[in-house]
Amino acid sequence: MTELKTLKDFADGVPEQFKADLMIKASDLKAEAVKWIKYILETELPCQRIGQRGTYLTTEDNELIRENIVIWIKHFFNITDTELK
């Protein structure tokens, strides 16, 4: 399995004259990602209807989905738990 790239990894190979602008934009994106995480953690996900029989995701399913979304965002943007406080 290949290692997942993060936002910082995309700066590799960018010419030096553009790296400063890229890092400014990356910090803006990271700040927005922190807002997304806080919103996801504070907002209750609606029950999703799935399948042909119309079964619904349980609260536990929703929590698992929420946790996985947060894990992915934190990994991609290199966000630590201290940055979320």
**61-82: average pLDDT:** 91
Cβ–Cβ under 8 Å, residues 19 and 25: no
E strands of the chain, at which residues? 49-50, 55-56
Residue type, 62: N
Q: What's the rounded Cα separation, in Å, for the pair 32 and 4? A: 21
List the structure tokens of 50: 């799935």
Per-residue pLDDT at 47 exceeds 70: no
The pTM (predicted TM-score) of the whole model is 0.73
Q: What's the rounded Cα separation, in Å, for the pair 36 and 71? A: 12
**67-73: average pLDDT:** 93
